Amino acid sequence: MSEQDNKQDSNCCEDYQDVSTPQEERLQYECEQAFLRLQFEEPSGAEEWKKFSSRVRQEKKKSRKLRSFILFSASAAALLIAVFLLWSNVETTLYEKQVAVLVKTEPVKQASVIEEDISSEEKTETPLPNLSKARIEKEGVVLSATEADYTRASVEKVCRNIVSIPRGQVYKIVLSDGTEVWMNASSRLSFPTRFSGSRRTVTLEGEAYFKVARDEQHPFVIITDKMTTEVLGTEFNVKAYKDSEAHVTLVQGSVKVHMPGIDREVLLVPGDDITCTDDDFQVHQVNVSYYTYWMEGYFYYDNVHLSDILKDLGRWYNVTIEMEQDSLLEEQRLHFVADRSETIDSVIENLNLYQYLSVTKDGGNKITVRKRE
pLDDT of residue 233: 85
State the Cα–Cα distance between residues 323 and 330, nearest whole angstrom: 8
Cα-trace Rg, the chain = 23
State the Cα–Cα distance between residues 215 and 221, nearest whole angstrom: 12
Residues 6+ apart with CB under 8 A from 214: 232, 233
**Residue type at 295 in one-letter notation:** M
State the Cα–Cα distance between residues 250 and 203, nearest whole angstrom: 18
**Residue type at 114 in one-letter notation:** I
Give just the sign of the alpha carbon dihedral 327, 242, 297, 100: positive
**Residue ranges covered by each domain of the chain:** 99-103+298-371, 112-291
Which of these CATH numbers, 2.60.40.10, 3.30.428.10, 3.10.520.10, 2.60.120.1440, describes 112-291? 2.60.120.1440
**Residue type at 70 in one-letter notation:** I
Which of these CATH numbers, 3.40.50.620, 3.40.50.280, 1.10.150.120, 3.55.50.30, describes 99-103+298-371? 3.55.50.30
Cβ-in-10-Å burial (0-12, 13-18, 19+) of 28 comes to buried
pTM of the shown model: 0.73
Alpha helices, DSSP H, located in 122-168: none
pLDDT tens-digit profile, the chain (373 residues):
444 444 444 333 333 333 444 445 555 555 555 555 544 444 444 454 445 445 444 444 443 333 333 333 434 443 443 343 344 333 333 334 576 777 777 777 788 999 888 777 788 889 888 777 788 998 889 999 999 999 998 877 778 999 999 999 999 999 999 999 999 999 999 999 999 889 999 999 999 999 999 998 999 999 999 999 999 889 999 999 988 889 999 999 999 999 887 888 999 999 999 999 888 899 999 999 999 999 999 999 999 999 999 999 999 999 999 998 888 788 889 999 999 999 999 999 999 999 889 999 987 789 999 998 8
State the Cα–Cα distance between residues 175 and 216, nearest whole angstrom: 17
Asked if residue 28 lies in contact with residue 16, where contact means CB atoms within 8 angstroms, the answer is yes
Asked if residue 98 lies in contact with residue 325, where contact means CB atoms within 8 angstroms, the answer is yes
State the Cα–Cα distance between residues 263 and 167, nearest whole angstrom: 33
